[in-house]
Structures are given as C-alpha cells and as structure tokens.
Structure 1
Amino acid sequence: MAGRDEEFTAYVTARMAWLRRVAFLLCQDWHRADDLVQTAITRLYVHWRRASAADNVDGYARTVLVRVFLAEQRGGWRQRVRVVERTPDAVVEPVDQAGGVDLRAALAALPPRQRAAVVLRFYCDLSVEQTAGVLGCSGGTVKSQTARGLDALRRVLEPELAEGRSSHERP
C-alpha cells in the first residue's frame, strides 16, 4: 500500500499544474478549477490500480477530470451559485495578454460540451476518436460540437470576418 501511495503522490505532484490548466480552461475560474482537480484526483486515487495500469495515465486522468466537469454542469443550481460577495484574489496570477483574455472569455461563453470538445481537441491535442472516448460520445458528435464551438468563437473573436463570410455566402 505504501508503494501505491508513493507512486500516486509522485504522479499527482508531477502533473498537478497541467491538470489545473486543463480544469481552468474548462471552467474559467481558478478556484473552481482547484475544486475540479481535487475531485478528479480523489477519484483517481480510488481507482489508482486501474489508472496506473493504463497505457496512458495522463489520458486516464484527463478523462476523469473532464467527466467531473461535465457531471458538475449537469448538477443542480446550488452547485453553481456563488455565495460570496466578492471573489477572492487568484492563488496564482496567470500572465494574461489581451488576446488570451478575449479567448478565455469567448471560451467561457460556450456551452460545457462544446467547450470540453474544443479544449480536448486543441489544447490537449486529442484526435476526434480520443475526444469521443473522453466525452463518451460518437466521433460525429465531437466533430459537430467542435465545429459549433469554433463557429461561436469566430463570431465573438472575429466579428468582421464572420459578417463578411455570411454576406458572401448569401446570393
């Protein structure tokens, strides 16, 4: 048991920053990202024997994290209500550039499954099939969710281009 705990602790220590970044991209809040990661690593610990035997431990952990995020989105409104008057300062101050801020705001506006598909495909660099496995859906669903998410991002981030395309597409 001690060897199992040491192996798990070493893995989580090495991958914590990566897990937090993926969680932040999904939920757009560092505190909530920490909660998602905490829940995910707790579930990962419970199933560590199976996770450590997997061909891709990072893929297993990422799948757990995304499923925790999506399950939370399906939860009741209580889980999403903020009960503090003012949001506390961020634990880690990310280096933000204007484009990154705009992209994260646009990403936050996407519905959860579209956001998860875009993050998995373009931040985590997963294939359509790998993303489908993580989300528990078909490859066609991943493609349509990704396409809709990218269209929404383009409309927000490049409104003049989106207007130009639509005027050229119409006769």
Structure 2
Amino acid sequence: MTATSLEQAFAAHHAGAVRLAYLLCGDHEQAEDAVATVWLKVHRRLERGPVDDIGAYVRRAVVNEVNSWFRKLGVRRREAARRKGDHRGTYGHDERIADADAVLHALDQLPSRTRAAVVLRYYADLSVADTAAALGVSEGTVKSSVSRGLTTLRGIMEEDER
C-alpha cells in the first residue's frame, strides 16, 4: 500500500462516509469519531493488500462502526440502570420521614377495623388467613376490608398531594 492510495481513498470517500455516519447516528461529533475509527481500520486493511471497491469497503465499515457504537451504548445504559437501582436509594432521610408521616396520617383516617386489616396484611405481612384469625373475622371480610382500605388510602394520599 502506498500513502498515495490511502490519500486518494480519503479524498474520494471521506465526505460521503461522514454524511453516511451522520445519517445513521444523528450526531455530527459521533459521526466524525466513527469515520476517524473507520479510516484507521481502512489504513490497516490497505497495508495487507488492495481492496477491490474501496468505496463499498468504507461504507460497510461505517455501518459496522455506527452499529457497534449503538450496541456499546445499549450495554452502557443497561449497566448504568443496573448500578443505579431504583429510586429508594435516592430518597433522603427527610423525604422518607415525610412519606411515612403521610402514610400514618392517611391510616389515621381509616375506620379502626379497616386500618387493622390493612396494617396486619401489609405492614405485618400476614396472609389473608392469618389476618382473619388475628381479627376474628372471615377471610372474605379481610379481603373486602383491605380492598376498601387501600382504595380509601389512595384517595387520601392523592388528595394530600394536591
């Protein structure tokens, strides 16, 4: 390979390669980076011998490079999401106290039997049968009390947010 053949290929195909990369990724700087990487690969390939159709080779290399960039971006985003976790880690101490206060305020507004069913079922994490036994009522009564209680709690919490 001669430096002249690489220079000629660059002069003939660089602008088209950048346009192609831009159309594929939608970001001018990323397109320039992808094409720069492609020209490095083209240089290495031309050192091994001539390429039949350098234009087709460059286009295919640009498509592969942009696709590779998108795959790596997807992996980085999934990794970032996995490391980040959910929103519980971002709550400050004051926010958790405020949320707990809001829930306690809403629970105070429920009738005592409904409040007991909700607390035993979800705070104490009892099964429906265990909650029924603790309250001395049927399982159906527990289910309906909890359902009504949660609906009322949602309404109270939504009202308090306004």
Higher relative contact order by CA 8 Å / sep ≥ 6: 1 or 2?
1
What's the TM-score once normalised by structure 1's chain length?
A: 0.40
In terms of fraction of residues, the more helix-rich structure is 2
Structure with larger Rg? 2
The TM-score, its normalising length taken from structure 2, stands at 0.42
